[in-house]
Amino acid sequence: MKKLIPKILFSAQHFGFGSQATIAYILKNLKRKGFKSDNYLVGWGNVTHFFKNYKELFDSDKIIETDIKGISNIDKKFDLIISCGNPYISIFGYDCCIPVINIDTNFWFWLLTKDKKNYDKYSQIMEHILKGGNYLEKISRLEKSGLTPHESQLLSNKCSLHSFLEKFPYINEKFPGTEKRIFRLGDILGGKNKFSEISPVLDLSVVKNKKIKKDYILINLNGMKNPVNDNADLDIYVKMIAKFISPVINELYKDKKFIIVVHPEIAERIKKNKKFFNLHAGIKVKSFSHREMLKIMEKTFLLITAPGKKSIYEAIHYGVPIIFLPEQNSTQYPQVLGYRKMGGEFPGILIYEKEKDLKKIKFKSGIEEMHWMYKKYEEWEESGSYQRDLLDLLKNEYSTDIALDKLAVKQRSVLNYQKGFAGADQISNFVIKYFQYI
């Protein structure tokens, strides 16, 4: 009897681009292993924008663009859902009895407190959200629950058949050991056996060309757009970064090509309001797909970026030295600490290290905190008090090609803490075995 081809629904967080890149590489990996499936994608905003550039992964008529409530109207005859941290599609799967595999790229974030009462609170809230009613009723309870957009991602784990926890090394900096982390997650999310810790899922398939000329400086703000930032905050941040970059172009790198990489919506606002953003004439504004970003990384002389995850590892892989811009939220500072703890030299202009009162803020992306940080950026932008900090750092420490090459070598120490980047393999093997046994 001929085995039926499984029908799989994919989705990802609708902000940033890292989660979409994770899904893309898992699907590439499944195809490489000869696994055949009928693939659909559901999402909105960033998700559909990202995957329209990957025509080999999804047929155009199988990309379902809808809003959160519209998910309730899509076909429920799927054999499996694979999602990277999208709580809405996980709740949909839970409600329709469709098994969900979840990839959690933020699991280090969930253990910011040792307070058992906090975990009991999360557990009670999630039980309340999922009790009875249809998908739309569950979503309504989620929206009234008081969970932040980040906290709501815990539901992606709660609703899953199995969750893969993507391990980035910096999680060891402030938080408990792996076993304790998974045990605590298991306490509130359905048992520790449903969790597997995996290596980072990275697409390192673009072949490095050592002969290629490196004459680009990338200012990477690609992951800015997320539920806890409003447009006014984002615009303030971009305007401030433009002030940081202008003296660098004028006094240090007139011979380099500068590209600022932003979300398409931000690029459109920059285009319409050039006077407000006041970008240097030497900066080109781009919105790259992940594939385009990897290709341009090959030609990049220096990456100037807010602290992140996937883009940092990819830059290190391509031998691109990294200088950090001010954090976009305070969860990014522990990442910097972690990179440094692993022996890497990671310089930057970090608000956490300049503003003592920031230390009062917990490592948690709450709405009030985000506005506090962007208010601080607005003060910086208006006063110009840090306008030359980035230039001074580069001129004093990294003004020569030799100094930047040495920096890139030191930053490669981070890769020594990984047992490879086999996360996509681990997930793909699980999916293949799952369909062998059902």
Task: Name the band, by pLDDT with cuts 50, 70 and 90, for residue 365.
Answer: very low
As a whole number, mean pLDDT of residues 2-20 equals: 82
Do 141 and 40 reside in the same domain of the chain?
yes
**Within a 10 A sphere around the Cβ of 392, how many other Cβ atoms?**
14
Do 167 and 196 reside in the same domain of the chain?
yes
Q: What are phi and psi of 42, to 5 degrees?
A: -125, 140
Closest CA to 86 of 162, 160, 29: 160
The residue to which tokens 């040495």 are assigned? 406
Closest CA to 42 of 5, 115, 91: 91
Establish if 262 belongs to a structural domain.
Answer: yes
Contact indicator for 14, 44 with CB cutoff of 8 Å: yes
Do 281 and 337 reside in the same domain of the chain?
yes
Q: Which two tokens stand for residue 117?
A: 């009462």
Do 30 and 165 reside in the same domain of the chain?
yes
Do 241 and 143 reside in the same domain of the chain?
no
Establish if 210 belongs to a structural domain.
Answer: no
C-alpha of 311 from chain center: 9
Residue type, position 45, single letter: G
Q: Using the Cα atoms of residue 391, residue 394, residue 396 and residue 400 in order, give the sign of their dihedral.
A: negative
Do 65 and 148 reside in the same domain of the chain?
yes
pLDDT digits (tens, 9 = 90+) for 414-427: 776 665 567 889 99
Do 98 and 151 reside in the same domain of the chain?
yes
Q: Residue 119 is part of a domain; what is its CATH number?
A: 3.40.50.2000
pLDDT of residue 176: 42
Q: Which two tokens stand for residue 308?
A: 């992140």
Establish if 57 belongs to a structural domain.
Answer: yes
Rounded-to-integer distance, Cα 270 and Cα 125, Å: 40
Rounded-to-integer distance, Cα 153 and Cα 15, Å: 12
Establish if 291 belongs to a structural domain.
Answer: yes
Residue 228: which residues within 8 A CB-CB, separation 6 or more?
148, 149, 150, 329, 365, 366, 367, 370
Do 223 and 300 reside in the same domain of the chain?
yes
Task: Name the band, by pLDDT with cuts 50, 70 and 90, for residue 228.
Answer: low
pLDDT averaged over the chain?
82
Contact indicator for 223, 21 with CB cutoff of 8 Å: no
Which range marks the domain in which residue 73 is found?
7-201+421-437
Task: Name the band, by pLDDT with cuts 50, 70 and 90, for residue 220.
Answer: very high
Do 225 and 181 reside in the same domain of the chain?
no
Closest CA to 208 of 289, 305, 316, 346: 316
Percentage of residues of the chain with pLDDT beyond 90: 38
Predicted confidence (pLDDT) at residue 174 exceeds the cutoff of 50:
no
Predicted confidence (pLDDT) at residue 217 exceeds the cutoff of 60:
yes
Do 186 and 222 reside in the same domain of the chain?
no
Do 122 and 236 reside in the same domain of the chain?
no
Among 111-115, 129-133, 151-155, 168-172, the range with the most confident prediction by mean pLDDT is 129-133
Rounded-to-integer distance, Cα 366 and Cα 269, Å: 25
Predicted confidence (pLDDT) at residue 172 exceeds the cutoff of 60:
no
pLDDT of residue 434: 95
Establish if 208 belongs to a structural domain.
Answer: no
pLDDT of residue 171: 45
Rounded-to-integer distance, Cα 245 and Cα 394, Å: 11
Establish if 342 belongs to a structural domain.
Answer: yes
Q: Annotate 189-210 with b (16+ C-beta within 10 A) or e (fewer).
A: bbeeebbebbbbbbbeeeeeee
Establish if 2 belongs to a structural domain.
Answer: no
Do 427 and 411 reside in the same domain of the chain?
no
DSSP state of 154: H
As a whole number, mean pLDDT of residues 370-386 equals: 75
End-to-end Cα, the chain, rounded Å = 15
Contact indicator for 330, 352 with CB cutoff of 8 Å: yes
Establish if 183 belongs to a structural domain.
Answer: yes
**Within a 10 A sphere around the Cβ of 129, how many other Cβ atoms?**
24
pLDDT digits (tens, 9 = 90+) for 318-338: 899 999 998 877 667 777 877
Distances (CA, A) of 152 to 87, 91, 142, 233, 358: 7, 11, 8, 22, 25
pTM of the model: 0.82
pLDDT digits (tens, 9 = 90+) for 85-133: 899 999 999 999 999 999 988 765 554 455 566 667 888 898 999 998 9
Closest CA to 314 of 172, 109, 168: 168
Predicted confidence (pLDDT) at residue 259 exceeds the cutoff of 90:
yes
281: helix, strand or coil: coil
pLDDT of residue 173: 41
Tell me how many domains the chain contains.
2
**Within a 10 A sphere around the Cβ of 159, how many other Cβ atoms?**
26
